Structure 1
Amino acid sequence: MRGWHIPPIHVIKVPNSEKQEVLDGQQRLAAIRDFLEGEFSINGNLDPVEPYIMELDGLSWADLPKNISGKIEDFTIRLLTISDYKPGEPGELFYRLNQPTNLTSAEQRNAYFGEARQQVKDLSEVMIELGYSRETLGFSNSRMAYDDVISKFLLTLELGTLKRKITANTVTSRYRDSDGFSSNYIVEAEDVLLTFYNCLIYTDRSVKLNKASTLSWLIFICSYRRLFKSEEALKKFFLTFEVIRKEINSSVDISCLPKGINKGLVNKVIAIYQDRSGSRVADTSSVVLRDMCLWLLFVSYFPEVKDQNSKTLAVYDSMHYLATIAPSSITEKSLEEIADSLSWGQKL
């Protein structure tokens, strides 16, 4: 309406496909689309104030005079199509175009049109198709939050350890590689996502997870699936754990806990898990502690699994050791010492 220049839209031609994807300009296109669909109206008071635009204040697309709507329809925006590019070129172009903007790490990585990026994108779409949403999980895929979690989960599978810190730069570096993740990891990730969703819908209680706790549950479920077959026990544990976490200061039914494991100990372990889900979330110590806390509570609620493998036996013994000391003496440091003694997380 002002006749100002609008930066061109950059689109990428997807290799071996008729599809095109927006590299730069998605917010511009979305704003135009939403206005034409009547989702917002004109704000005539934006600086610099123009008298004729002020007269249109509050009008939506359908209400505009023909001369104004015609001016908008006739406006030209350049579209640049990029093809025959090397894997790193779209990402570098996107970075240079968007240096001044405040994009999330996942949004920045989305410009790397390699196999790893596409695999993560596909899994993110699987999550949405399954029914993951703010209502079921606690957060939506706004600003590519699911892509961020999945990329870190796949990298954890690939590294095979919890002892390597995964940062935004680590994931970006992986996206730059020409090779994608192993198909075995992709298949396993799909199975874990399905199992996790079954846990989420096991009850009508809503859960409020963040990206850190979601990643920890994916890692836990992955390890669980490699050790056990029963999905029913896993769903029951997820429900129990999340109920206690949500009502940490209220009365907790501990009738199913083994003898010697008390409410104070359970709440202490949950409190440490909570703290490491909300601060220092990317530190290796936080990832290891959250995983340790999940397994400590799991073997407490299902003591019959302790003799099935060395991992569950070791964590069961650790929980009983903790039960012999006062809950007030249980700290993050004491759990870290136990984790170190067991080389916890050294191998996924």
Structure 2
Amino acid sequence: MTPAHDLRASATQPTVVNVREVLAQLRDGRLRQPSEPSSSAEWTDHHKHVLLDSVLRGWPIGTLLVARERDGSRVLLDGQRRLAALEEFIRGELLVDGRLAPPARVLRESDGKTYHALPQGLRTAIDDYPLVLLELDELPPAELRHAVLRLNADARLTEAGRKLVESGSFGEQVRGLVATAADWGLGEERIGFGNVGLAYEDVISRVLVAAEAGSVLAAAVGSEQLNHRLYSGDPVADQTRDEVADALKEFVSLPALDLPAVRFTKPTLLTWMLVMVRARRAFGPGVEHHLGYLLEWLEPERRRRAAELGSGVTAPLRTAFLGLPCDALLERFNEVSAVGAHSPESTVLRDAIGWLFLVATGGAPSRRASPVPDVLRMYAALTNAKDEPFTEDRIDQVLWKDGVLKSWGEWS
């Protein structure tokens, strides 16, 4: 067992420095900002006003964590947003909110004032406010991320979201891609759900890992590839990032997404993004237009069944695929989009059903290009099994035992 003194060896004794001195250290470089922020979330004005109010009252605002690196430089690990808000106030860009509870006469009288408009006594109280700094010596980068973020994660985050916040350069890569995609149309009004709990980041991280691994299973919960990225923080290759970025841009730009009935959940968005990336890799750019055509029918139909409204428009199947059991497949697609949605089995099954519909509606330019031959074998297994009702168990039996799902999802 590691002795306790070894576990604590990286932490020095805390020091107390006033606001004026800490901000001066940031300005002249004695204390550096990290290249990678400890949180992707920006503070609202309310957060900043509450912080400032606490400082003016002399209330505690928490410890600042600083890493002392081998070259002697010092990097601010935790406290960037607190110091940024104080710097913003001192520059005159943030006003006092004197209406915050509990009431205080001196703060009410300072409501709406800038730092320079405050009485000298209040300015001095801010300048001399004591900040507690705890310096950590030479912790490995992965341990630094966990030390800073494990207790500071947003309570709304899922476990996957929390890990993504801690995931170093990989997380930064994902956040940058999601931020760019917002300009392309990645938003609740076109997708169907918002980014609560870093939902977009979770989906895109899974797509990136699957694209680099060439495997649908890499996008499932608990996959070795996904866990490695989330822990190590290593980014995917630029080529993979660009491939996913291009697919994402084309996907969120599809005219089908302007239709109110075409909306996704996290699992279904993940599936269609995986289909998009793989189809573009197999068939080249342009296949996204047919995927959009498919979604115009499939997503409204899938949602009708989820709402127990029955079938609506007939599937636009090619003549060679008229035997496809569309109703049963859509029912099963919905089921594995709701319960255990990110399990390996559910992730693979949704992907396979997506490809069945893509090929059956004419989205594959060649029957020889992978994965079309495997899709044709799945279709043959389904049509050969039509002598019995397609219950949930029957669909799975046919596709897993008689079809090709045991080897499905590995991209050539």
Q: What's the TM-score bracket when you normalise by the shorter of the two chains?
A: 0.7 to 0.9
Matches within 5 A, 1:1-348: 1=54, 3-10=58-65, 24=78, 44=101, 62=112, 86-95=140-149, 97-98=151-152, 103-104=157-158, 105-113=160-168, 115-164=169-218, 165-167=220-222, 171-177=226-232, 179-199=234-254, 201-206=255-260, 207-229=262-284, 230=286, 231-248=288-305, 249-254=309-314, 256-259=316-319, 261=322, 265-302=325-362, 305=365, 307-309=367-369, 311-319=371-379, 321-323=381-383, 325=386, 328-332=389-393, 334-335=395-396, 337-339=398-400, 341-342=403-404, 343-348=406-411
Residues 106-145 of structure 1: CA deviation (Å, up to 9, x unaligned)? 24432343x3233222222222232211111122333322
Offset, 1:238: 2.2
**Do 2:355 and 2:375's aligned partners in 1 also have CA atoms closer than 8 Å?**
yes
Q: What amino acid is aligned across from residue 134 of structure 1 in structure 2?
A: E
CA displacement at 1:224 relative to structure 2: 0.9
Which deviates more from structure 2 when the two are superposed, residues 71-80 or residues 232-241?
Answer: 71-80
> Match of 2:299, as an amino acid?
E
- The one-letter amino acid of 1:238's match is L
Aligned equivalents of 2:193 and 2:243: distance in 1?
23
- 329 and 29 in structure 1: CA distance in 2 versus 1, 3 angstrom threshold: farther
Whether contact under 8 Å (2:315, 2:326) holds in the other structure is: no
Instruction: Give the number of the structure whose alpha-carbon radius of gyration is greater.
Output: 2
Deviation, 1:169, is: 8.5
RMSD: 4.4
Q: Secondary structure at the match of 1:338?
A: helix
**Which residue in 2 is equivalent to 1:16?**
none
How far the C-alpha of 1:189 sits from its partner, in A, is: 1.1
Segments of 5+ residues of structure 1 without an aligned counterpart are 14-19, 45-49
Q: Does the aligned pair in 2 maintain the 1:258–1:303 contact within 8 Å?
A: no
- 8 Å Cα contact 1:91-1:109 kept in structure 2: no
Task: Tell me the TM-score normalised to structure 2 length.
Answer: 0.64
Matches of 1:267 and 1:90, distance apart in 2? 51
**Structure 2 counterpart of 1:279, one-letter code:** V
List per-residue Cα deviations over 1:284-311 (Å, max 9, x = no partner): 1001110011111122222875624353
Q: Which runs of 5+ in 2 are unaligned?
A: 1-53, 69-74
Aligned residue pairs: how many? 329
Q: Give me the whole-angstrom Cα distance separating, in 1, the residues matched to 2:153 and 2:364.
A: 55
- SS state at 2:216 partner: coil
CA 280–96 in structure 1, closer or farther in 2 if over 3 Å, else same? closer
Report the more deviating stretch, 213-222 or 239-248. Answer: 239-248
Q: CA deviation at 1:279?
A: 1.3
CA distance change for structure 1 residues 108 and 315 in 2, over 3 Å: closer, same or farther? closer
Identity across the alignment (%) = 23
What TM-score results when the alignment is normalised by the length of structure 1? Answer: 0.73
User: Structure 1's 156 and 203: CA in aligned 2 closer, same or farther, altered over 3 A?
Assistant: closer
Aligned AA (2:296) = L
SS at match of 1:142: coil
Question: One-letter code of the match for 1:135?
Answer: E
Per-residue CA distance 1:20-45 (angstroms, 9 max, x = gap): 9x854588789999xx989x99674x
Measured in 1, the distance between the counterparts of 2:63 and 2:227 equals 26
